[in-house]
Structure 1
């Protein structure tokens, strides 16, 4: 029997992978793994910082892939697996060992719920690429949920003795974040916000003021900004729902007026 020849496009498909974006994804994966190690060793603040480093690297790999025209299906799948470790497993284990361990079974169930909802969120995002409005995320992104956990831990360490009891608050927060990740609530994606295009002067002034405020209290402001983003999702969904209903009502009124005019 003669061996079937591969088509030229098949050989081109398996020619290789892009190095630079996948190296950055690997660095993000390493930061997430390091956060797991530090969580086990009791270095909760360092683990939270490692998750934030992974967040920065996760934003870089996709942008560099688009700039260098090196995006690939392999990179998308590898990035999702790295995100599951860095933003699902790492913050789940971190928050369990830091605040949820006293709850026993209920504590580790909450941590597992956070991780599995993050995995479901990633899987849904992968299959919905190109099918939903790119201006919005369908559900809270798993990097944002992990950042909320990390900044909350950093804020508690910064407040010290002034921090209120963290256990009940964190348990409630984990359940809320888990629900938001698998919900259909819309969150702004910032993908249409172009930094390299001309903007009104007040936008620059606002960016400078925001930078100064964050520089004064980075841990506290980081947590507050992430909390504002989490709250913005339900508010945005209500606004979009209100606009949709107003548009439907206006269409109904127009159709009723047209029918009335035709009948007369």
Structure 2
């Protein structure tokens, strides 16, 4: 087997490694670094499956490994991060909403895998509910935005609302609201070189983009693609979107 065929697995392992390191950073009071590691995990997650399909190396083992990595990077790590950020809130709120978010992530991933196992034919351009990747990424970018606002204006406004935002994200994940798949155009027709180029561009983007631009990008997706999905979802017949 050629070395390049292992690349998708390497990216998936990088995803779960970022999740673990993020948790360790939270435990060591490095919250902003922990948030950025989740963002890096988002980039890796966006390309491992695509590369596996391009290289014809997709497998059930790879799919299960990807879900496990997603649970760590976009379920457990963001929940721990939120809990630490809101350590001044009552434990029943910070721990409770963090646990709820993690459980919703696990359910969202399990539902996705079950639908694939049952070979349900589903519209390619939509997700059922908010993807766990974007839910976890939203928690991370709120941490980054909080650090940006707090260092300049000295306000904890984001922390005050974060538990309730996390709760809403959890509800959106387990809902059946269709969210438009903005990455669906990254497919086989582009070729491996194009995907690698997009992967590299994404890395550069997240390195040089300031905090406000990151927040704007994810907020734009949540609002615009979510609203578009609700409208278009009424036109989908015969199947639920994935």
Whether these two folds match at TM > 0.5 is yes
Aligned pairs (5 A) from 1:124-203: 124-129=111-116, 130-131=119-120, 132-159=122-149, 160-162=151-153, 163-194=155-186
* Structure with larger RCO (C-alpha < 8 A, sep 6+): 2
Normalising to structure 1: TM-score of the pair? Answer: 0.74
Aligned-pair CA distance for 1:234: 4.2
Q: Which structure would you say has the larger Rg?
A: 1
Tell me if the contact between 1:110 and 1:171 (Cα under 8 Å) persists in the aligned partners. yes
Checking the alignment, whether the CA contact within 8 Å between 1:185 and 1:233 is kept in structure 2 is no
Map residues 217-232 of structure 1 onto 2, 5 A cutoff: 218-232=210-224
Indicate how the Cα distance of structure 1 residues 30 and 194 shifts in structure 2: closer, same or farther if over 3 A, else same: closer
Q: 2:179–2:230: 8 Å Cα contact kept in structure 1?
A: no
Deviation at 1:45, TM superposition (A): 0.3
The runs of 5 or more residues in structure 2 that have no matched partner are: 191-204, 238-242
**What SS class does the counterpart of residue 137 from structure 1 fall into?**
strand
Instruction: Give the equivalent residue in structure 1 for 2:105.
Output: 118
Change (3 A) 1:112 1:222: same
The structural deviation recorded for 1:110 is: 0.1
Does 2:92 correspond to 1:105? yes
1:190 positional shift: 2.4
User: Structure 2 vs 1, CA of residues 73 and 42 (structure 1 numbering), >3 Å: closer, same or farther?
Assistant: same
Secondary structure, aligned partner of 1:102 = coil
* SS of aligned partner of 2:86: helix
Preserved contact between residue 101 and residue 108 of structure 1 (Cα < 8 Å): no
> What is the Cα-based RMSD across aligned positions, in Å?
2.5
Name which of structure 1's ranges 136-145 and 97-106 shifts more when overlaid on structure 2.
Answer: 97-106
1:240 to 232, 237, 240: 232
* Structure 1 segments (4+ residues) deviating >6 Å: 213-216
Q: Which residue of 2 aligns with 1:203?
A: none
* Cα distance in structure 1, aligned partners of 2:6 and 2:65: 12
**What is the Cα deviation at residue 61 of structure 1?**
1.3
Structure 1 stretches of 5 or more lacking a match? 1-17, 198-212, 246-264
Match of 1:67 among 28, 33, 54: 54
TM-score (normalizing by structure 2)? 0.80
SS in 1 for 2:176: coil
